[in-house]
Structure 1
Amino acid sequence: MIRGLYTSTAGMIAQQRQMDMLSNNLNNIDTPGYKQDQGTLRTFPEMLISRLGGDPPRNARVGDVSTGVYQDETIPDFTQGTLTQTGKSTDVALVTAQLPVNPQTGAQEGALLFNVRTPAGALRYTRSGHFTLSPDGRLTDANGDTVLNTAGQPIRLPSDQFQVAADGTITANGTAAGQIAVSYAANTNRLVKEGSGLFRTNAALPAAAGRANVAFQIRQGYMEGSNVNAEQTMTDMMEAYRVFEANQKMMLIEDNALNQAVTQVGRNP
């Protein structure tokens, strides 16, 4: 009975974390470039149960028993979000055209991201192309982080009257003003979310341009939305709630059985 309480509790904690993750996804459904998190549930190592004693005494194997479930990790889903035409010159969308394919799964691997530098000087990455111009003419994201060019330097523009080519080259007043840097992350599991649409890594990511099997386009006047599916997320939330409720009921049953064992069975001679 005690093991049952722990198993039910582990299930409730796992589903609560799933609910928190799904709620965060739903709250960011209108956040430009947001990539939804996906949760992975795993079981704790199983225990081998054996029967000891008996007549004659022997060690008989009963079977395996699970000790509960836990949320192992949350992984961002980097599938392309829906493009929305805004008509603003400072809005640019990063469109993934091609990525390397895993020969075992047949799925594309990796992600493409813009390079930005925070006010503290840290290099970060983002999918959000909802840019703007600062008072001093720097191209920045919605958080005030500076958008970097391929040389790792800030992009400065005289006004919002500029053009962005498909490869990210910016032209203002007929003069080239730099090229928007795009990096390629081969292993997206190494990208750590920091909030506000930013990701960090332990080492700087390589440039995406010129890499084999990597192709992209930058579309000016468009904005990439989040890749959150509201209907599927609501369905997953209802499922998580029902599993949480089932574990809660099992805990009540185990608690009631334990109470009877203590108050009634224990008093019988």
Structure 2
Amino acid sequence: MQRAFYNLTQSMLNHQRSLDAISNNLTNINTAGYKKDEIRMNTFQEELILVSNRRKTSGKFVQTYVDTSKSNLEQSSFEFTESPFDIGIQGNVYFNIQGTNGNVYQTRCGQFELDGEGYLCLNDSGRVLGQNGEIYIGNDDFIVDNEGNILNENGEVIEKLRLSYIPENADVTKVGNNLFSYDGDMTIPEGEKYDIIQGCFEKSNVDANKEITSLMETQRLFEASSAVLKYMDTINGRAASEIIKL
């Protein structure tokens, strides 16, 4: 009985984590460059061995648990705006942002702007990095070519975007403000193809229809587990009452 209680409770916790991830995905469906979270389930097998009078009885059960929450890094589509500050990436490379804490993070959010000092920045997350450090633009009269070179109004190259490679199946850590941290080698492999596209930004890769379907299914599973748990609790209470009467 106690094992059943444990399994049902664990199941509810798994479903709750899934619900939290789905809700967060739906909240960020319109966030540029957002990569959806996916809850990965796994199983482990536990052996119960009872030894009595030289006889061994082995029982097995398989239990599902939350293995990890992983960001889905699949490429999404673009929204074209014609704003020079909106920059999209086609391929497995990322922008680098100098965070407000001094650390360097990666992002696919290309909705940039100028800060009060004329540097290219990502809202309040930090400044965009080029090959030589923070990128000073000064005004909106600039061009970014498909290799990431930044040209001023005279057609002179003033900087080049600092880009980092992250494979699509990589495990990244979300640090907030649409930024990632990755511990692997981020050197762009020789021959790796990518394009920088000015005048657009990459949209979230959240599919609303799929997320809503998953939300409904997971909610039903959560409620079913909750109902069974309450029923078992009632049965357990009745059994205890009968024992007391004896």
Could you state the TM-score of these two structures normalised by the residue count of structure 2?
A: 0.91
Aligned to 1:71: 66
Distance in 1 between residues matched to 2:125 and 2:173, nearest whole Å: 20
Summarize the alignment of residues 146-225 of structure 1 with structure 2, pairs less than 5 Å apart.
Answer: 146-151=127-132, 153-173=133-153, 174-186=155-167, 189-202=170-183, 205-206=186-187, 208=188, 211-225=189-203
Question: Distance between the aligned counterparts of 2:184 and 2:77, measured in 1?
Answer: 30
Question: What is the identity, as a one-letter code, of the residue corresponding to 1:199?
Answer: F
| Per-residue deviation, residues 66-113 of structure 1 (Å, max 9, x unmatched) | 3x43211111111111200011001000111xxxxxxxxxxxxxx421
Contact between 1:166 and 1:219, CA under 8 Å: does it hold in 2?
A: yes
Query: Which residue type is aligned with residue 16 of structure 2?
Result: Q
1:231-250 equivalences under 5 Å are 231-250=209-228
Q: What letter is aligned with 2:101? A: A
The size of the alignment, in residue pairs, is: 245
Pick closer, same or farther for the CA change 1:74–1:83 going to 2, 3 Å: same
C-alpha distance in structure 2 between counterparts of 1:256 and 1:59, whole Å: 35
Q: Any idea what SS the aligned residue of 2:134 has?
A: coil
More strand by proportion, 1 or 2? 2
Deviations 1:116-167 (A, max 9, x none): 101222111111010111222111112251111123x111113111111000
SS across alignment from 2:102: coil
The alignment partner of 1:215 has SS state of coil
Instruction: State whether residues 73 and 168 of structure 2, in contact with CA within 8 Å, keep that contact through their aligned partners in structure 1.
Output: no
Structure 2: stretches of 5+ with no match in the other structure: none
Q: Is the 8 A contact 1:158 1:172 kept in 2?
A: no
Secondary structure (helix, strand or coil) at the match of 1:212 reads: coil
SS of equivalent to 1:115: strand
Identity %: 30
How far does residue 190 in structure 1 lie from its aligned partner after superposition?
4.2
Residue ranges of structure 1 left out of the alignment (5+ in a row): 97-110
CA distance in 1, matches of 2:184, 2:208: 34
Alignment partners' CA distance in 1, 2:108 and 2:174: 12
**Displacement of 1:62:** 5.0
The answer (yes or no) to whether the contact 1:95–1:218 under 8 Å persists in 2 is yes
Q: What is the correspondence of 1:49-128 to structure 2 with a 5 Å cutoff?
A: 50=50, 57=53, 59-61=55-57, 63-66=59-62, 68-96=63-91, 111-128=92-109
CA RMSD of aligned residues (A): 2.0
2:45/2:61 contact within 8 Å kept: no
